[in-house]
Amino acid sequence: MGQKSRLSHASRNYTHFRGGAAQTMQNRLRLIEALWAFIALLGIKLNHIRDTPLWLIMLFVQTRLCEGIRPGHARNMTSAIRVILDEAGCSMVNTTCSNDALGVPRRDRKGAHRAQTRAEFEQTIIRAQAVDEGLAHHLSLMYILGLRSVEALRSAHELAGWLGLLRAGADRLPFQYGAKTNRLRQIEIIPGAGEETVRIIEAALAYCETHNGNLITGVDADLRTSRDRLRYLLKAARICGQLSSHSLRYSYSVNLALGLLDGGVSEEETLDRVSAALGHGARAQMILNTYLQEIRDRFATVVIPRRPSRNPGGSVRGRHLPGPQRMIRSNRRLKFKKA
Q: Is residue 288 part of a domain?
A: yes
Mean pLDDT of 303-316: 56
Same-domain status, 250 and 209 = yes
Residue that finishes a domain, picked among 54, 74, 107: 107
Is residue 112 included in any domain, yes or no? no
Residue where a domain stops, chosen among 76, 107, 138? 107
**Residues 150, 31: one domain?**
no
What is the share, in percent, of the chain residues with pLDDT greater than 90? Answer: 47
For 249, residues 6+ apart whose C-beta sits below 8 A from its C-beta are 142, 146, 147, 148, 278, 291
- Give the DSSP letter string of 172-227: EEEE-TTSGGG--EEEEPPTT-HHHHHHHHHHHHHHHHTTTT-SS--TTSSHHHHH
- 260 with 178, same domain: the answer is yes
Q: Are residues 181 and 242 in the same domain?
A: yes
Share of the chain above pLDDT 70, in %: 88
What are the tens digits of pLDDT across the range 238-273? 998 888 999 999 999 999 999 999 999 999 999 999
Residue 339 in any domain: the answer is no
Same domain, residue pair 122 and 234: yes
- Inside any domain, residue 331: no
pLDDT at 51: 85
For 240-257, the DSSP string reads -GGGSTTHHHHHHHHHHH
Going by pLDDT thresholds of 50, 70 and 90, the confidence category of residue 308 is low
Are 292 and 143 within one domain? yes
- Confidence band (pLDDT; 50, 70, 90) for 111? low
Residue 319 lies in a domain: no
Question: Is residue 330 included in any domain, yes or no?
Answer: no
Q: Is the pTM of the predicted complex or chain greater than 0.85?
A: no
- Say if residue 124 is in the same domain as residue 186: yes
Are the beta carbons of 284 and 275 closer than 8 angstroms?
yes
What's the domain count of the chain? Answer: 2
Kindly state whether residues 33 and 91 are assigned to the same domain: yes
157 plus 36 within the same structural domain: no
Question: Is the same domain home to 97 and 151?
Answer: no
Could you tell me the sign of the dihedral formed by the alpha carbons of 326, 331, 332, 335, in that order? negative
Has residue 86 been placed in a domain? yes
161 and 50 part of one domain = no
- Residues with Cβ within 8 Å of residue 4, at least 6 apart in sequence: 36, 37, 39, 40
Looking at 299, 316, 333, the residue that finishes a domain is 299
Does pLDDT of 309 surpass 60?
no
CATH at 240 = 1.10.443
Higher-pLDDT residue of 333 and 202 is: 202
pLDDT tier, 110 (very low <50, low <70, confident <90, very high otherwise): low
Q: Tell me the per-residue pLDDT of 193-205, one tens digit each, with 9 for 90 and over.
A: 999 999 999 999 9
Give the residue-averaged pLDDT of 294-306.
84
94 falls in which pLDDT band (50, 70, 90)?
Answer: confident
Q: Which residues pair with 175 in a beta bridge?
A: 185
Q: Region 38-42: what's the mean pLDDT? A: 89
Which pLDDT value is given to residue 150?
92
How much is the mean pLDDT over the chain? 85
58 with 77, same domain? yes
Confidence of residue 322 (pLDDT cuts 50, 70, 90): very low
Q: Which residue has the higher pLDDT, 337 or 8?
A: 8
pLDDT band with cut points at 50, 70 and 90 for residue 281? confident
Full residue range of the structural domain in which residue 167 is found:
118-299
Per-residue pLDDT tens for 62-84? 999 999 888 888 999 999 999 99
| Residue 172 maps to a domain | yes
Average pLDDT for residues 182-200, to the nearest whole number? Answer: 93
